[in-house]
Amino acid sequence: MSELQRPIHEFSGGLDLPGHKAQSTGRPIATAPLGQHFVVPLQQHIGEPTEPLVAVGDRVLTGQVIARAQDYISAPVHAPCSGTVAAIGDHAIPHPSGLQAACIVIDSDGADTWTELPEPWPDFMDRDPAELRERIRWAGIVGLGGAGFPTSVKVNPGPELPIHTLILNAAECEPYITCDDMLMREQADRILAGLAVIRHVVGASECLIGIEANKPDAIAAMRAAVVSSGCPDTHVMVVPAKYPSGGEKQLIQLLTGLEVPSQGLPAQIGVLCQNVATAAAVADAVLAGKPMLERVVTVSGQGVAEPGNFRVRLGTRMADVVALAGGYTDRVHRLILGGPMMGFALPSDELPITKTANCLLAASAAEIPDPPPALPCIRYGRCAEVCPALLLPQQLYWHARARDLDKTQDFNLFDCIECGCCAHVCPSHIPLVQYYRYAKTAIWSQERDKARADIARRRHEFRQERLARLEAERKARLRKKKEALDAQPKGAADPKKAAIEAAMKRVAAKKAAAAQQQPEN
């Protein structure tokens, strides 16, 4: 192992945040008992929704695909238990705007009878990457670090973007969250096996495992696993505990010194990032033939009695997970899904655990106080010092507030990763990130409108064109007819026409004669 020779680079900005990690690492990961009702959202990933394959009343088995991916960027959903489909319809899901969305509700029969699973592939090294990608896709695996982008798509950047470095994102830089930390301590081998599969799929020549320095146990476990697995060119690299070291672009910079181009993909610089839990899920899919049915969820904060990590089937009610952690204390004030920096506040705990739910933070008012009233920006500039994207947050804020959307783009709004560092240090307590989200959404909807208008315009133009064409054709036909008429010899003029002409001449002559006589009257 040559960790010592590999320099750790730096990213600019960032914050030293109190980690609050020890609260939830006191006990090993506990496996939650099987619940009675499961609410499985049809969409738990970024991309296209899935299409249900079951109907109300159907019997399903654990691991059975109950909704299939309709599109390339999508991920199927599996039954987390055996039982009966009780309902298919809208149900509240964990979403920043408190949305309802289509879910399949399953009543468990308590037996947890598994469906027939595909065969395990311990020989994955001899298999074609396309075959492995198909397996990962079948397993419904998405990025479990939070974003939820379908993994089968991510590991297929295409032949024009060769990957040389595979990075395992084990930084887990958000305070309170420890699910990756605990998974590494307990199942380092499984994670490394998944990493080996992904590495084979993308053909990376080396693997870098980036872990924040505040997880010594996980670092030791991963180092030992790397040695015992004999994976070549795999390095555990310890990065300083500085938020947001686990941001994809930041971690890539820390480990390789490379900068992901603005609004580009890591694959453009030959790098691919995968999360710890994602790697473990890939190992299950390929080496055990198991789809993604469960995940580890951290439950922490002063608002729960016994914080810890729990292995939970997807679709389990959050309130049940909190109950496993000893239930709420009377100090509970906010419920956050994710970490305190980038997570979002949930209006209720009657929501299902989804693939991307890494942490339930039941915080006390001391941990997450109500936001103080915002004061005017004093252009104090602390925000710019901590921005890891090297933006000028205050200028973004001024322009977003003034709804000057073009200016926000001049100031690179879309390079903002919404890490919240700027708002965290702002002495005026301005909810800066909220303004950026507003501006981004406004720009997107503007572009959608524009796209829609473009389509309408094109449709209109097409119609105009068609009308013009029809008109031209009609004229052409007329012209042809006329030409055909003109082409007839003059002498053979229509006798009828000649008669009319003669008659008109007579009338004209009479009129002229009458006119000449008039003055004499």
Partner 1 sequence: MEFATSSSPHISGSQSVSRVMAEVLLALVPGIVALIWFFGWGVLINIVIAAIAALTAEAAVLKLRGRPVLRTLGDLSALVTAVLLGLALPPTLPWWLTVLGVVFAIVIAKQLYGGLGYNPFNPAMAGYVLLLVSFPLDMTRWLPPAEVAQHTLDFADSLRLILTGSMPSGMTWDAMTGATPLDQMRTGLDMNRMIHEIRESPLWGSVGAVGWEWVAGLYLAGGLYLVWRKIISWHIPAGMLGGLFVIALLFNMIDAHTHPSPLFHLFSGATMLGAFFIATDPVSAATTNRGKLIYGALIGILVFVIRTYGGYPDAVAFAVLLMNMAAPTIDYYTQPRAFGHRKDGNG
Contact flag: residue 381 with ligand SF4 (CB under 6 A):
yes
**Are 336 and 343 contacting, i.e. CB atoms less than 8 angstroms apart?**
yes
| Interface pick for partner 1 out of 8, 213, 269, 443 (rule CB under 8 A) | 269
DSSP readout, 314-336?
TT-BHHHHHHHTT-B-TTEEEEE
For partner 1, the closer of residues 87 and 269 by Cβ is 269
Told to check if 367 binds partner 1 by CB under 8 A, we report: yes
Closest approach of ligand SF4 to the CB of residue 396, in Å: 6
Helices (H), 360-491: 382-386, 393-401, 405-410, 421-425, 432-486
Residue 380 interacts with ligand SF4 (CB under 6 A)?
yes
Query: Quick check: 248 binds ligand SF4 (CB under 6 A)?
Result: no
Among residues 177, 184, 201, 421, the one that binds ligand SF4 under rule CB under 6 A: 421
Kindly state the smallest distance separating residue 416's Cβ from ligand SF4, in Å.
3
In the set 53, 86, 305, 345, which binds partner 1 (CB under 8 A)?
345
Task: Tell me if 416 contacts ligand SF4 by CB under 6 A.
Answer: yes
Give the residue, chosen from 213, 392, 405, 443, that forms a contact with partner 1 under the rule CB under 8 A. Answer: 392
Q: Which of 87, 431, 442, 443 binds partner 1 (CB under 8 A)?
A: 431
Distance spanning both ends of the chain, measured CA to CA: 129
371 binds, among ligand SF4, partner 1, none (CB under 5 to 8 A by kind): partner 1
Judged by CB under 6 A, the chain residues 360 through 379 that form the site for ligand SF4 are 377-379
Contact map string, positions 427 to 456, toward ligand SF4, x by CB under 6 A: xx-x-xx--x--------------------
The secondary structure of 212-272 as a DSSP string is ETT-HHHHHHHHHHHHHHT-TTEEEEEE---BTTTSHHHHHHHHH---PPTT--GGGGTEE
66-125 residues in contact with partner 1 (CB under 8 A) are: 98
Three-class DSSP category at 238: strand
Q: Are 21 and 178 in contact (CB under 8 A)?
A: yes
79 makes contact with ligand SF4 (CB under 6 A): no
Binding site partner of 342, from ligand SF4, partner 1, none, Cβ cut-off 5-8 A by kind:
partner 1
Single-letter amino acid code for the residue at 86:
A
Q: Choose the contact partner of 257 out of ligand SF4, partner 1, none; CB within 5 to 8 A by kind.
A: partner 1
Among 17, 163, 188, 273, binds partner 1 (CB under 8 A): 17
Distance (Å, rounded) from C-alpha 187 to C-alpha 383?
39
Eight-class DSSP state of 288: I
CB of 87 closer than 8 Å to CB of 105: yes
> Taking CB under 6 A as the rule, does residue 251 contact ligand SF4?
no
- What distances in angstroms separate CA 16 from CA 174, 175, 242, 421, 425, one per listed residue? 11, 10, 5, 10, 11
Count of Cβ atoms closer than 10 Å to residue 499 Cβ: 10
Strands 100-108 and 83-92: antiparallel
Contact positions vs ligand SF4 (CB under 6 A): 377-383, 387-389, 391, 393-394, 397, 416-422, 425-428, 430, 432-433, 436
